[in-house]
């Protein structure tokens, strides 16, 4: 609906659905019951009516903020009405223009009709109500209006034909038949247009296409109009004098009246709720894809058969080099028009155990491909799966899961709703009842193989020597990769005949003999491409097998081989030309996994162990130097005090990377993690732990906690192998950071304790201080408040030793622990010291952090107005500087303050925002706190049932992450909810909460004792 030039933000998906219900029937009353049925489709929660009224009230406020005359949502009796002129809704303006266009066609005014119909179709900017959850009413409306759109397209195509504009008609109709391959009226018009343009063969090919689809899908033949048109075209072709007969075949009104389904989006493009930005992460297309027609048709037909009921999942297995990935990408591209919102691709590395992509990591990558920010990806695996399925449910997507290792690996990656097609490739035959049977991809047939060779070397050369071409593909074992490689070799030698290549493959060269065998077939084909290389390029190819990651750039190859940038680039260009290396995007390259195996075999046979080790040393040196440059930007001063690395003299290569940024690490992250693992396995222990440390800050701020755990575990093993005590302490410390964020408090405590123990005799002062300060924080997070405070004060006794660490780590951690224990005056003094340190050092981050902590203490001391002013100042400083650290906690405290003033609606909003921020940053302990405060605010609003549900959710989360304080507060909240309805249940919850509070020594124990006493005094005990 056109409201203004600005976008209206319609809020949650359910609010968008309510707006959609009102928009598709403007001016009409939509009852609350109708809205409940649409939102929950027969399974409404108890709070459904209240929720609908809340959603509607939010929408009304949104419209009230707009200028007068731009529409309003009116509450009327037991429902709501969108008070707006229907002509301002694109849907109804489309209908008006379409009807006027039909009348113009009937009156013979083709130019006017064309203008009206084109204007009507231009109002469609994508699928109707894209991203809005559709219930029964909206589903039927979108289906009906999509049918009207298709009828309008066909009418416009007919107008183009009558006006002699064949090409315009063909363009329109091609799009329709691709998206709706069973639509016979569109094929009738397409055949007419092709014939009138003179493309007789294409017209008959269109007939063959619809006939094959109807036979496969429905088991029926083409309708009478199609058959009549085909006969007319065939007759006209055989008797040129009757060429006009086909062109004169009449397209009846019935031909234009087949039902379809979708609709016109309501509102401007910028105002549409839930609009999806299409993404495409498929590899570069294979432009000369040939053959496999039966497999392609079967998979496309199977997709169409099930896509309205369940997700279409196709598993393709086969031997290495059989073209599984090429086929999957080809089918994905064929489906992309029908699934336009997302095309995703991930290599699961299932060909070996070393680099196997675990489902959790795969989900992270796929969600990032969809555009989900890293800080929104949940830490918990089950939550990550749920978010993945929710995001897919909002889109029509095609996903390629390449190189799967097992059904267990892919099952968490499969969608739940019928909006997605998944194509899985694997070297193994995978079976799982939910994914369907695996399809084994055989080698190509003889004719398909010759067709592939023809595309590789040229039609003229193959047709000149058909027998030699057949012999070449036979010697290749009809394996697509071997055929491509053999053909590429020939294509670069224009003086060779096919017979020359066939003769060589039949000669005494052992590599050519291997082409006729199973696994050796590909090895032989690779060798045939490798042997012609000049010696320097051969060496580059062999050393590529040593590269630990999956993708490599020119600087990395130069480091690995000891070449200059120019020499490495030239060698890679040569290898790309000979199909030995795949060019991904002109800056990064990769080896096919089988090619990598061949390269490794060659290198182990040809190059000495010392040469191979020198190559890896140069690569690890180069990688570490680039990673350290980025780390210097993220944590200046700190990283160089912990990682001492002498430059290896590869400045030219480091400079060739460009100015290193965090985004460089983002692109290279997967390979860098693999590099850490490879460094430990290759016994480059110093590089292993140093690279892990260099990656820490980036992984921490981006939420890649699994990567921190993986790399720092490897770093621990490497440090142990060389007996480096300082490195061991570092690895334990930073491994603990990831355990804290992922809820493994005991693991964090164990590793930090180990760091402190290892550094007792260290000559270094700063790092041991950092470990002890971090240990105090873990004590606090784990509920060991007395230990945290004790350690904090011990550290303060030697404040000069701690220096900046004392101001930046020790003081805030100690103040937080004191606040939790209710020692507010002491906490306030500590946080003021932190604020003074921050201002002295002009550190805005610590200034805003200290302000938020002071505001929290003031709030708990009862000075609510002052607390609000300080908390708002902290938020303002965050807005100015862009630092978002701990914003969730500040928002939660602000909600507590608003609740204290009776501003319950604002309090609820702050708690809900705090929860969203906590989920986004992965801070589950803060999420639990926000849930508990939200529950208390809901109870204050008289919404006891909802409050109980929220506290139960908080209890589950706090229990899962072993957070005793929030467990106790959740139990106390539940006790408050049960206080009137079930005193016995309230008493049980208070007793459990009191046990936790007493153990921790927090002030909440006094409230728990008081409430238990009240319950005891009001309980009536009946005598005999």
Q: What is the pLDDT of residues 717-758, one digit of tens each?
A: 999 999 999 999 999 999 998 887 676 778 888 898 899 888
| DSSP label of 841 | T
Lowest mean pLDDT, pick from 351-360, 522-531, 892-901? 522-531
pLDDT classification of 860: cutoffs 50, 70, 90 = very high
CA distance 865 to 897: 8
Own/partner long-range contacts of 282-285 (Cβ < 8 Å, ≥24 apart): 282/329, 282/332, 282/333, 282/336, 282/343, 282/344, 282/345, 282/400, 283/325, 283/329, 283/345, 283/584, 284/584, 285/329, 285/330, 285/333
Residue 585 token pair: 């995007």
CA distance 606 to 538: 10
* Predicted local confidence at residue 2, as pLDDT: 41
Average pLDDT of the chain to the nearest whole number: 81
Q: Which residues of 135-151 are buried (b: 16+ CB within 10 A; e: fewer)?
A: bebbeebbbbbbbbbbb
Q: Which residues of 1006-1015 are buried (b: 16+ CB within 10 A; e: fewer)?
A: eebeebbeeb
Lowest mean pLDDT, pick from 278-292, 320-334, 798-812, 846-860? 798-812
How many CB atoms neighbour CB 615 within 10 A?
21
Percent of the chain with pLDDT over 70: 85
pLDDT classification of 885: cutoffs 50, 70, 90 = low
Lowest mean pLDDT, pick from 312-316, 459-463, 847-851, 931-935? 459-463
Distance set, CA 267 to CA 19, 58, 123, 886, 909 (Å): 11, 18, 10, 38, 28
How many CB atoms neighbour CB 227 within 10 A?
13
Cβ–Cβ < 8 Å for 521, 527: no
Cβ–Cβ < 8 Å for 318, 442: yes
Q: Which residues of 172-210 are buried (b: 16+ CB within 10 A; e: fewer)?
A: bbeebbeebbebbbbbbbbbbbbbbeebbebbbebbeeb
Cβ–Cβ < 8 Å for 22, 56: no
Measured over the CA atoms of residue 861, residue 866, residue 869 and residue 870, the dihedral's sign is: negative
* Predicted local confidence at residue 510, as pLDDT: 36
pLDDT classification of 432: cutoffs 50, 70, 90 = low
Residue found under tokens 């939102």: 39
In the chain, count of helices (H) and strands (E)?
50, 12
Distance set, CA 708 to CA 316, 436, 714, 740, 770 (Å): 34, 36, 10, 12, 18
pTM (2 d.p.): 0.53
Residue 847 token pair: 């200034």
* Predicted local confidence at residue 274, as pLDDT: 46
Distance set, CA 953 to CA 43, 388, 468, 883, 937 (Å): 21, 21, 72, 29, 15
Looking from the CA of 781 toward its CB, the CA atoms found within 13 Å total 27
Q: What share of the chain is helix, strand, coil (3-state, %, to 5)?
A: 65, 5, 30
- What are the backbone angles phi and psi of residue 426, rounded to the nearest 5°? -160, 150
Residue 904 token pair: 């319950």
pLDDT classification of 519: cutoffs 50, 70, 90 = very low
Distance set, CA 458 to CA 391, 450, 493, 494, 574 (Å): 45, 11, 12, 11, 21
Given a cut of 80, whether residue 799 has pLDDT beyond it is: no
* Predicted local confidence at residue 509, as pLDDT: 46
Interval 608-646: pLDDT, tens: 999 999 999 999 999 999 999 888 877 767 788 888 887
> 922 in the Ramachandran plot: left (φ > 0), alpha (ψ -120 to 50) or beta?
left
Looking from the CA of 535 toward its CB, the CA atoms found within 13 Å total 2
Three-class secondary structure assignment of 149-204: HHHHHHHHHHHHHHCCCHHHHHHHHHHHHHHCCCCHHHHHHHHHHHHHHCCHHHHH
- The H or E element that residue 426 is part of is strand 420-426
CA distance 678 to 690: 13
Name 65's Cβ contacts closer than 8 Å, sequence gap at least 6: none
* Predicted local confidence at residue 120, as pLDDT: 85
Interval 190-249: pLDDT, tens: 888 888 887 888 888 888 888 888 777 766 778 778 888 888 888 777 654 333 333 333
pLDDT classification of 855: cutoffs 50, 70, 90 = very high
| DSSP label of 587 | S
Own/partner long-range contacts of 489-494 (Cβ < 8 Å, ≥24 apart): 489/528, 489/529, 489/532, 489/578, 490/456, 490/457, 490/461, 491/456, 491/457, 491/458, 492/577, 492/578
Distance set, CA 29 to CA 16, 74, 383 (Å): 17, 9, 39
Task: Find, among 261, 592, 210, the residue nearest to 402 by Cα.
Answer: 592
Cβ–Cβ < 8 Å for 987, 969: no
Total length of the chain: 1024
With 0-12 / 13-18 / 19 or more C-beta atoms within 10 angstroms meaning exposed / middle / buried, residue 287 is exposed
CA distance 455 to 979: 79
| Interval 21-46 mean pLDDT | 80
CA distance 630 to 702: 14
CA distance 860 to 680: 50
Cβ–Cβ < 8 Å for 415, 394: no
| Interval 115-122 mean pLDDT | 87
Radius of gyration of the chain (CA): 34
CA 709 to chain CA centroid, Å, is 21
Interval 151-180: pLDDT, tens: 988 899 888 888 888 888 888 888 888 888
With 0-12 / 13-18 / 19 or more C-beta atoms within 10 angstroms meaning exposed / middle / buried, residue 753 is middle
Top mean pLDDT of 270-279, 395-404, 573-582, 635-644 is at 395-404
| Interval 826-844 mean pLDDT | 87
């Amino acid at each position: 609906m056109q409201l203004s030039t600005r976008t209206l933000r319609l809020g949650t998906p359910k609010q968008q659905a309510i707006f959609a219900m009102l928009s598709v029937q403007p001016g009409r009353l939509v009852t609350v019951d109708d809205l409940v049925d649409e939102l929950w489709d027969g399974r409404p929660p108890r709070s459904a009516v209240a929720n609908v009224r809340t959603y509607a009230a939010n929408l009304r406020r949104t419209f009230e903020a707009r200028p007068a005359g731009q529409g309003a949502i009116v509450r009327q009796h037991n429902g709501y009405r969108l008070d707006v002129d229907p002509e301002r809704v694109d849907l109804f303006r489309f209908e008006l223009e379409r009807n006027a266009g039909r009348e113009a066609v009937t009156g013979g005014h083709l130019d006017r009709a064309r203008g009206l119909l084109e204007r009507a179709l231009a109002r469609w900017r994508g699928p109707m109500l894209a991203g809005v959850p559709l219930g029964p009413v909206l589903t039927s409306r979108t289906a009906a209006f999509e049918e009207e759109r298709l009828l309008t397209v066909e009418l416009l195509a007919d107008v183009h034909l009558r006006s002699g504009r064949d090409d315009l008609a063909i363009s329109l109709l091609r799009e329709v038949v691709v998206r709706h391959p069973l639509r016979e009226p569109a094929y009738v018009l397409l055949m007419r247009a092709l014939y009138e343009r003179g493309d007789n063969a294409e017209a008959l090919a269109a007939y063959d296409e619809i006939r094959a689809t109807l036979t496969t899908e429905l088991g029926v033949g083409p309708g009478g109009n199609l058959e009549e048109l085909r006969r007319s075209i065939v007759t006209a072709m055989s008797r040129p004098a009757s060429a006009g007969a086909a062109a004169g075949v009449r397209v009846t009104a019935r031909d234009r009246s087949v039902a379809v389904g979708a609709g016109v989006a309501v509102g401007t493009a910028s105002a549409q709720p839930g609009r999806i930005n299409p993404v495409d992460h498929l590899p570069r297309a294979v432009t000369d894809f040939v053959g496999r027609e039966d497999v392609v048709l079967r998979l496309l037909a199977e997709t169409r058969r099930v896509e309205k009921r369940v997700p279409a999942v196709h598993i393709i297995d086969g031997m290495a080099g059989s073209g599984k990935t090429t086929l999957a990408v080809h089918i994905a591209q064929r489906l992309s028009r029908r699934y336009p919102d997302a095309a995703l691709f991930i290599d699961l590395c299932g060909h070996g155990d070393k680099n196997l992509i675990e489902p959790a990591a795969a989900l992270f990558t796929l969600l990032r491909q969809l555009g989900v920010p890293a800080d929104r990806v949940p830490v918990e695996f089950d939550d990550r799966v749920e978010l993945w399925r929710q995001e897919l449910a909002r889109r029509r997507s095609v996903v390629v899961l390449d190189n799967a290792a097992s059904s267990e690996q892919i099952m968490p990656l499969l969608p739940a709703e019928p909006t997605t097609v998944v194509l899985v490739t694997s070297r193994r035959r995978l079976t799982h009842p939910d994914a369907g049977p695996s399809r084994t991809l055989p080698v190509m047939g003889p004719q398909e193989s010759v067709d592939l060779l023809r595309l590789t070397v040229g039609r003229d050369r193959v047709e000149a020597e058909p027998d030699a071409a057949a012999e070449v593909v036979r010697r290749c074992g009809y394996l697509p990769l071997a055929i491509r490689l053999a053909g590429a070799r020939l294509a670069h030698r224009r003086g060779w005949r096919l017979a020359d290549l066939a003769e060589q493959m039949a000669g005494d060269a052992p590599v050519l003999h291997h082409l006729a065998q199973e696994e050796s077939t590909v090895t032989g084909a690779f060798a045939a491409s490798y042997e012609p290389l000049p010696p320097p390029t051969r060496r580059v190819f062999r050393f590529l097998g040593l590269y630990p990651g999956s993708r490599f750039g020119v600087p990395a190859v130069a480091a690995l081989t000891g070449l200059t940038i120019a020499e490495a680039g030239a060698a890679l260009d040569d290898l790309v030309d000979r199909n030995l290396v795949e060019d991904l995007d002109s800056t990064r390259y990769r080896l096919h996994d089988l090619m990598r195996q061949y390269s490794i075999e060659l290198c182990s046979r040809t190059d000495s162990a010392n040469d191979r080790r020198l190559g890896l040393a140069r690569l690890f040196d180069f990688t570490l130097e680039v990673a350290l440059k980025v780390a210097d930007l993220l944590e200046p001063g700190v990283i160089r005090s912990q990682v001492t690395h002498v430059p290896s003299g590869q400045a030219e290569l480091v400079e060739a990377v460009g100015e290193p940024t965090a985004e460089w690490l983002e692109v290279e992250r997967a390979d860098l993690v693999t590099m850490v693992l490879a460094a430990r396995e290759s016994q480059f222990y110093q590089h292993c732990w140093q690279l892990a440390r260099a990656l820490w800050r980036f992984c921490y701020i981006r939420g890649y906690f699994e990567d921190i755990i993986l790399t720092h575990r490897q770093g621990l093993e490497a440090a142990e192998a060389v007996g480096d005590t300082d490195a061991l302490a570092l690895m334990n410390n930073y491994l603990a950071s990831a355990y804290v964020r992922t809820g493994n408090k005991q693991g964090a405590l164990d590793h930090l304790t180990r760091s402190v123990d290892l550094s007792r005799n260290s000559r270094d002062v700063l790092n041991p201080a950092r470990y002890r300060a971090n240990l105090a924080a873990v004590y606090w997070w784990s509920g060991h408040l007395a230990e945290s405070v004790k350690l904090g004060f011990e550290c303060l006794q030697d404040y000069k030793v701690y220096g900046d660490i004392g101001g930046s780590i020790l003081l805030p951690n100690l103040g937080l622990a004191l606040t939790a224990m209710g020692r507010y005056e002491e906490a306030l003094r500590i946080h003021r010291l932190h604020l003074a340190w921050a201002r002295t050092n002009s550190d805005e981050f610590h200034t805003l952090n200290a302000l938020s902590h002071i505001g929290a203490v003031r709030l708990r001391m009862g000075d609510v107005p002052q607390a609000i002013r300080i908390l708002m100042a902290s938020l303002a400083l965050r807005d100015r500087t862009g630092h978002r650290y701990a914003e969730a906690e500040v928002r939660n405290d602000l909600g507590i303050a608003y609740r204290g003033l009776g501003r319950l609606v604002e309090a609820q909003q702050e708690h809900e925002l705090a929860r969203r921020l906590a989920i986004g940053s992965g801070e589950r302990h803060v999420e639990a706190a926000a849930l508990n405060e939200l529950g208390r605010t809901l109870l204050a609003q008289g919404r006891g049932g909802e409050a109980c549900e929220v506290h139960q959710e908080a209890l589950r989360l706090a229990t899962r992450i072993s957070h005793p304080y929030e467990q106790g507060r959740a139990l106390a909240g539940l006790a408050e909810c049960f206080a009137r309805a079930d005193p016995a249940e309230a008493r049980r919850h208070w007793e459990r909460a009191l046990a936790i509070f007493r153990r921790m020594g927090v002030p909440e124990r006094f409230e728990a004792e008081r409430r238990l006493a009240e319950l005891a005094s009001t309980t009536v005990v009946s005598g005999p």
